[in-house]
Amino acid sequence: MSMKSFVFTLSCEDRPGIVAAVTTELADMGANIAESDQFWDQVSNRFFMRIAFLAPEGVTRDTISRALAPAIARFDMKTELTDQSQRKKIIIMVSKFDHAMLHLLYQIRVGWMDADVAAIVSNHEDSRRTAEIEGIPFHYWPVNKENKAQQEEKLLALVKETGADLVILARYMQVLSDSLSKRLFGKVINIHHSFLPSFKGARPYHQAHERGVKMIGATAHYVTADLDEGPIIEQDAERVNHSLSANDFVARGRDIESRVLARAVKFHLENRVMIVGNKTIVFAR
């Protein structure tokens, strides 16, 4: 029997019967649960759940929505139901450093990440050749103070035109405006380096090397008006020491950035991330 894959996520005030109400309806329609993750936040008394399941042929998204409607109303759930057979579309934005973008393209090519790249957008021409080789539309949109608002409107139009589900800032070295960040909240992921202490401005890895940093890392997060302070999706770090050069720091940093961004994007595409205020719940595996 042909089966279709769906993901259902929910959040609501915690009380008995939530799981039973959902899983009973799924069982009644012949669905088979492939994954089930849940979390109870004791501070807020909120319950969060993600269920990935296979539904028999003929069971549509509307069929499932109607079947779950009574449970959703009963527990006042905030929900999302996704048909996983519909490949997500992404837009990758990049400046000169293309390591994170290339890693994303590779992971899509080998099938680890399930997505279609609708476009590559850059404020430099450096990645045009890569886009041509991959057969991806390339948009060269240089940004300055005078045209920033106009270029952001073009991005919004591109998102609408392509039906993109996610915009990825793969080392795109331009700060998005507060207005754009709000309009695309939850749909833009950024990657940046992570150090203690924090190093801002140019050549952060060289600054870290000069200060004798012992740990370097990267953080992937949703973009908000608070620059690099949006809800964190994924992080990683590794130890470094005095024997490494500044160029070694840069190389290791680029490797971490690429891996962390790819994992964050994959989590998002698989509906494993739930935004709760200024933080996230990530049902990773």
Catalytic residue set: 228
C-alpha dihedral sign at 165, 234, 44, 83: positive
Query: What is the H or E stretch that residue 26 is in?
Result: helix 18-28
Calculate the CA 245 to chain-centre distance.
32
Between CA 273 and CA 268 the distance in angstroms is 6
- Enter the DSSP assignment of 227: B
Between CA 84 and CA 261 the distance in angstroms is 21
Residue 206 has, within 13 A of its CA and on its CB side, a CA count of 4
- Nearest of 213, 260, 212, 215 to residue 236 by alpha carbon: 260
Q: Are 261 and 100 in contact (CB under 8 A)?
A: yes
Query: What is the H or E stretch that residue 37 is in?
Result: strand 32-41
Q: Are 217 and 261 in contact (CB under 8 A)?
A: no
- Enter the DSSP assignment of 43: T
